[in-house]
Amino acid sequence: MRTPFVAANWKMNKTLPEALNFLQAIAGKLPNQAEVEALICAQSLFLSQMMAVTKDEPIKIGAENVFWHDQGAFTGETSPKAVASLGVDYVIIGHSERRKYFRETDEMVNNKVQAVLRNGMRAIICVDETMGQREANEKVHWVVSQVIEALKGVAIEDADKITIAYEPSWAIGAAAASAKEAEDGCYLIRQTVADMFSDEAADQVRVLYGGSVKPSNQAELMAMPNIDGVLVGDASLNPDIFLQLVNYQQK
């Protein structure tokens, strides 16, 4: 059985004091990790402080991006080795905003996935689909090809370190996909993992849906057979709403 996963992506929001206030507000109110795994991915510059104040809480702190080289002359980049040295477990890779604003290609995403695994961390790989692609009915090819490219060269033994998030960019910060649309995307992703690796690997890999998730639509989404959790942007910035998300009632 795959543990339900509620992951926050704070994006480029919050200062250090705001992040620490948030963590203070949720302390002692989080669910048991065996029931729901909770994660907050935040800007790398204060991951260390966030980890220190949550060390006794059932929550993990993750990064939103890393570079693919471990070290070297890459001014301004974030080293995966340095992030791993903080004890960080999860890194989001290939978010649609990085693909769009920073021109990240499938090849870069693949290099970053390898860097995350090489440094002993887990990758949350985002795959995306624009409204244009959806309307042109290219969804199948597009999502499948991003999964295939992202997982190239990944060893089957590392399958349990991979989480894939179906995040159609038309549903981010807009109207969420319906539970059926989200399930279709997540099903496709799991099938692709089964084709590339094995049915057992596909069974282990957690697949999340992201795009305008809120407490009001979360339970319906997470009741779908191939949706193991959610990756939440806006709604995760408020501690009360985040607590509702991690303490959701299964349908």
Active site residue 95: yes
Task: Name the minimum Å distance from CB 56 to ligand 13P.
Answer: 27
Contacts of 97 (CB under 8 A, 6+ apart): 11
Task: Name the minimum Å distance from CB 72 to ligand 13P.
Answer: 28
> Which of the 8 DSSP states describes residue 227?
-
Active site residue 167: yes
**Among residue numbers 74 through 113, which ones bind ligand 13P (CB under 6 A)?**
95
Among 37, 97, 104, 167, the one annotated catalytic = 167
Tell me if 154 sits within 8 A of 113, measured CB to CB.
yes
Q: Determine the Cα–Cα distance for residues 126 and 123; give it in Å rounded to an integer.
A: 9
User: How many residues in the shown chain lie near ligand 13P by CB under 6 A?
Assistant: 14
Task: Name the minimum Å distance from CB 51 to ligand 13P.
Answer: 20
Feature table: binding site for substrate: 9-11, 173, 212
DSSP H helices, 90-214, are 96-101, 106-118, 131-135, 139-150, 179-196, 199-204
Instruction: Please identify which residue in 227, 231, 245, 246 interacts with ligand 13P, judged by CB under 6 A.
Output: 231
Amino acid 220 reads E
Q: Determine the Cα–Cα distance for residues 161 and 1; give it in Å rounded to an integer.
A: 15
Instruction: Name the residue with the smallest CB distance to ligand 13P.
Output: 233
Instruction: Please identify which residue in 173, 175, 198, 216 interacts with ligand 13P, judged by CB under 6 A.
Output: 173
Residue 224's φ and ψ, nearest 5 degrees, are -70, 145
70 part of the interface to ligand 13P, by CB under 6 A: no
User: Residue 126's closest CA among 34, 194, 195, 189?
Assistant: 189
Task: Please spell the DSSP secondary structure of 197-226, one letter per residue.
Answer: S-HHHHHHSEEEEESS--HHHHHHHHTSTT
211 part of the interface to ligand 13P, by CB under 6 A: yes
Window of 66-74, 105-113, 149-157, 208-216 that interacts with ligand 13P by CB under 6 A: 208-216
Among 95, 104, 129, 183, the one annotated catalytic = 95
172 part of the interface to ligand 13P, by CB under 6 A: yes
Distance of CA 196 to the CA centre of its chain: 21
Feature table: binding site: 9-11, 173, 212
218 part of the interface to ligand 13P, by CB under 6 A: no
Instruction: Please identify which residue in 4, 62, 80, 210 interacts with ligand 13P, judged by CB under 6 A.
Output: 210
Tell me if 248 sits within 8 A of 23, measured CB to CB.
no
Nearer to ligand 13P by C-beta: 15 or 238? 238
Catalytic residue IDs: 95, 167
Judged by the rule CB under 6 A, the positions of this chain that interact with ligand 13P are: 9, 95, 167, 172-173, 210-213, 231-235
